[in-house]
A and B are shown apart, each in its own frame.
Chain A
Amino acid sequence: MSGSNKPIIWGLFAAGGTVAAFLVPVLILITCLAVPLGLLSIDVLSYEHLLDLMQHPLSKLVTFAVLFLVIWHAAHRIRITAHDLGIRNDTLVIVICYGIAAAGTLLVLAALFNI
């Protein structure tokens, strides 16, 4: 039983889980539910307003950090869940879960670069 590289993955998982715990509920509220519920005006999600918010380098940094950490948290937990549900092919699960997380991370970088 040699040393594991799990600490990196687990570290990301723990950080992402903490970020998700604090931010995802309010993010879902703002981005999906507040407007239909009449709590916020539709202008909040307008192209101009969001582009404006994203211009600041701090916005880009925070946006990247949040999306990066949470997607890796979700990827790792889904991998564990696959194992819990009896899916034996760990290699395939790893490729799918972390692959999507990696693709998502790259897409965020590309998007933030273009904004």
Chain B
Amino acid sequence: MSRRPYIREPSKTGWWLAQPRYIRYMMREISAVFIGIYIVVLIVGLWQLSRGEAAYIKFLATAEGPAGLTFAVFAMLFAIYHTYTWFQVTPKAMPLTLGSKRIPGAFIIAAHWFGFVLVSTALWLLVGS
């Protein structure tokens, strides 16, 4: 009796399209592209700020144009998805116990969202005033 094991290779590029859970994973990973581009834009903005008023105003005009705004909307959606997925996994990565009882994951996640609102409000008030 001869053995001839058969190897089934999934697609190296398209494997994630096969199931909703993989699509959600890929969306989470893609969020880093939008966040990365946004940070690069911020860095460029900071650089232009350091170069003087004229340079900064030119930067602002480009960044606030229709393309910039469209990108910002998508970046915002992906950024929120990053926040959502990051908080979801936090209880798994750092399980907390009080005495001998495990603190429920939902509580940890809720605490993170609470902190998120606090930090966002603080920054809004700091910059917006």
Contact = CB atoms under 8 A, between A and B. Distances in A.
Nearest to B31: A77
Contacts of B42: 27, 31, 67
Contacts of A44: 127-128
A6 to B, nearest CB: 16
A23 B123 contact: yes
Nearest to A64: B46
B69 interface: yes
Contact of B40 (A30, A54, A71): A71
Contact-residue size bin, chain B (C-beta under 8 Å from the other chain): 35 or more
Interface in B74-98: 75-76, 79-80, 82-83, 86-87
B9 to A, nearest CB: 11
Nearest to B63: A32
Interface residues of A, number: 51
Interface string A77-96: 11011001110000000000
A74 B124 contact: no
A18 B93 CA distance: 12
B35 interface: yes
A9 B57 CA distance: 36
B51 interface: yes
B30 to A, nearest CB: 7
A22 B36 contact: no
A12 interface: no
Given A31-B42, A86-B12, A81 B128 contact: no
19 contacts: A18-B86, A20-B79, A20-B83, A20-B86, A21-B82, A21-B112, A23-B120, A25-B116, A30-B128, A32-B68, A33-B72, A36-B69, A50-B56, A73-B35, A78-B36, A84-B29, A104-B39, A112-B46, A114-B50
Interface of A: 17-18, 20-36, 40, 44-45, 47, 50-51, 53-54, 63, 67, 70-71, 73-75, 77-78, 80-81, 84-86, 100, 104, 107-108, 110-115
